[in-house]
Copies of this chain bind each other. A is one copy, B any other.
């Protein structure tokens, strides 16, 4: 965990960008969260440490330009997930229609199927496909239990 942070900080330093505690706090929230977070959700979790929402947006955008973070737009807002050092370089997102939480679909068979799909598309269009946003919409297990 602390290990990850130092790797991210190294990348940041290597690009001539200053390491600040604000950047560290944001990255820590993304590392420790089991779900993907919106800028507002990150703000809720760090605002007691007097960090402005604008700083969070600025750094998320910065992290994205460095390839550290990926933005996932969904339903009027964006969720952010770590891209570098993530176990799953390409994967499928699952968004709950009840609680709006955004998580990864963790299933090797499904990811395999997705990789096949991506290969087909890349073969078909050449190098033109740069990225993919795949989000499945439904009810998460926590909400399923809650509303039963």
List residues of chain A with CB under 8 Å of any chain B CB. Answer: 73-76, 78, 92, 97, 105, 107, 109-110, 113-114, 116-117, 120-121, 124-125, 128-140, 144
A139 to chain B, nearest CB (A): 5
* Given A73-B76, A113-B116, A117-B114: A132 in contact with B134 (beta carbons within 8 A): yes
Closest 3 CB pairs of A and B: A128-B138, A131-B137, A129-B138
A76 to chain B, nearest CB (A): 7
B110 touching A117 by the CB < 8 A rule?
yes
A117 touching B128 by the CB < 8 A rule?
no
- Which residue of B has the minimal Cβ distance to A140? B128
List 14 additional A-B contacts (Cβ < 8 Å) besides A110-B117, A117-B117, A128-B140: A73-B75, A107-B120, A113-B116, A114-B117, A128-B138, A128-B139, A128-B144, A129-B138, A131-B136, A131-B137, A132-B136, A132-B137, A133-B135, A133-B136
B144 touching A137 by the CB < 8 A rule?
no
Copies in the complex: 2
| A97 neighbours in B (Cβ, 8 Å) | 130
- Which residue of B has the minimal Cβ distance to A127? B138
* Given A110-B124, A120-B110: A136 in contact with B144 (beta carbons within 8 A): no
| A117 neighbours in B (Cβ, 8 Å) | 110, 113-114, 117
Q: Choose from B110, B125, B133, B139 the contact partner of A133 (Cβ within 8 Å).
A: B133
